[in-house]
Each structure stands twice: as structure tokens, then as C-alpha cells.
Amino acid sequence: MQGFNKYYPPDYDGEKHKSLNAYRGKHALGDRARKLDQGILITRFELPFNIWCGTCDNHIGMGVRYNAEKKKIGMYYSTPMYSFRCKCHLCDGWFEIQTDPKNTRYVVVSGARQKDEEWNPEENGGFAIHDTEAAATSVDPLSALEKSTDAQNHLTKVQIPRLESLQGLSDHYNDDPYARSALVRKYFRTEKKIYAAKRAADDQIKEQYGLPETLKLLEDGAEARDEAREEWVKGRRELEAQTSIRRARLLSSAKPCPSTNNLSSLRARILDNTRRSSLLAKTTPPERKGIL
């Protein structure tokens, strides 16, 4: 088991030495503070991006850790700026990386070059994220209108439906089951009474007019009445058309019969011929009678 007790030699004086590190002449940070008199502290530094070493031109991946010499180089308002000096593990070259609080990033100062992997919003119709002078420049009104329109469309089509679905899900899990069940039962009882009354009225109509029990009656309403009226008018027109066609066929196939006027004229002609024959017989001489 590791011991947590400290050994104090017989010649240790707390008022004189203050601490065991001062008694032994060592710093609390050990070998990391060997250059502390120069303002340099040895610390563990991890590369924040991919770089190429300027000495051996080898690629060093993001996340590689070094024992870097950390040194304060200045202030940006109340934020300190630090420099990290690292030795390449593939050669004897050194490279230096500094913090940039103004733009919230790291910057390669010397000994290497950074791999540019940042997305530039200005090339895609946006504004620079780290542009500190954006307020001084004029904004394109059409671009601002387009951005506001896109934001409104995103709010309407994405955010509001998502919030509504989340609200519905929350209501589903936090709702009272008994209250929901009571509401459903009440609605069912009301609908059941309405259905029973409608069924009794339909049965009475079927019994009154002798309709089959399996016949399904339409619900009474303005729309149903209009549809029934349209069907009745349509059927009546079809019946009239069929009746007129049948009548025309009967008239075309019937034989013509003599009318009363024709009979009267025929009778008059016969009587006239008879009268003429009798007159002719009276006026003819006897010698002519034999010839005739």
C-alpha cells in the first residue's frame, strides 16, 4: 500500500525551511520547472490541428502530444497569451505555436505550417465568424433578407413541428389515464344514444314503406338531399327520353287508316255517280237504248 506520510529529518526546521521541497532544494513541479527562472514551464501540449514540420517536411497529425515549453508572451485585454515551443519527434527541428484570444484559435508562428481544414463561411454566402470588423462594414440588404427568410422557413418547417411533437409526447406520458378513459367513455355513451335513436328511426321508415331490413339508408342532410334530387332529375330525364323514343318508333311502324273526311268524300262521289247514271238513263232515246 502506498504511504501518504512524509518523512521529516531531524534537522528540519519548519520556520526556516517552510516546506520539504525547500529543505531539499527542489521545486514542487520537479524537472518541469528547470527553466522557470526564464519564465518557461514545461507542460504537456497536444497539437490542435495537422501540421507539416518545416525542418523535415513530415506530416504530424492532430492530437500528437509534446513536452512543450510554455511561456507567457503578452495580454489581450485581460486574457494572457501563451507560446508553446515543441521539438519535432521525427527530427531535431523546433516549431512554435501561439494562442490567439482575439480570434479564439491557435496560430503556427515558426518552424511548421498548418494544414488548412477550416470551412470559410464567406465563400458560402455567410459572414466571417472571427471578423471583428463586421459591424463597421455595410450589410447587403438582399443577403440579410435571404438569411431572415431562411431562418423563418427553418422555424416554420423544422423547429415548430419538432416542438409540437415533443409537446405531444410529453402530454402523452404525463397525462392522467383515468381522466382520458372517463372522457372516452362519456363520448362513447353519447354516440351510442345518437346511434340507437337513428337506428330506431330507420327501422320505422323501413317498416312503413315495406323496405328490406338489410337496406342501408342515407343520413339526412343538405348534401344527401342535393345528391338525391340530382339523381331523381337525372332518372326522370332518362325516362322521358326513352318514352319519346318508344313513341316515335310506334308511330313510324303503324299503318295509315282512312279518316272521316275521306269516307265522306268517297260517299259523295258514289252518290254523284249514281245520280248521273239515273239522269243519263232517262234522257237517252229508245233507239239509242238498244245500241247502248
Per-residue pLDDT of the chain (292 residues; tens, 9 = 90+): 565 777 777 777 777 777 877 777 777 777 888 888 888 999 999 999 999 999 999 999 999 999 999 999 999 999 999 999 999 999 999 999 999 999 889 999 999 999 887 776 666 666 666 555 555 556 677 777 788 888 888 889 999 999 999 998 888 888 788 887 888 899 889 888 888 888 888 888 888 888 788 877 777 778 878 888 888 888 888 888 888 888 888 777 655 555 556 677 777 788 877 877 777 666 555 554 444 4
pLDDT on residue 48:
92
- C-alpha–C-alpha distance, residues 248 and 78, integer Å: 110
219 in any annotated domain: no
Q: Based on the structure, what is the number of domains in the chain?
A: 2
pLDDT on residue 182:
87
For residue 163, give its domain range: 143-175
191 in any annotated domain: no
For residues 51 and 95, state if they share a domain: yes
For residues 86 and 160, state if they share a domain: no
pLDDT on residue 287:
52
Cβ contacts of 92 within 8 Å, gap of 6 or more:
55
120 in any annotated domain: no
21 in any annotated domain: yes
pLDDT on residue 46:
94
- C-alpha–C-alpha distance, residues 240 and 236, integer Å: 6
234 in any annotated domain: no
274 in any annotated domain: no
Cβ contacts of 116 within 8 Å, gap of 6 or more:
none
- 56: cell is 523535415
Contact in structure between 50 and 59 (CB atoms under 8 Å): yes
- C-alpha–C-alpha distance, residues 76 and 101, integer Å: 7
For residues 101 and 24, state if they share a domain: yes
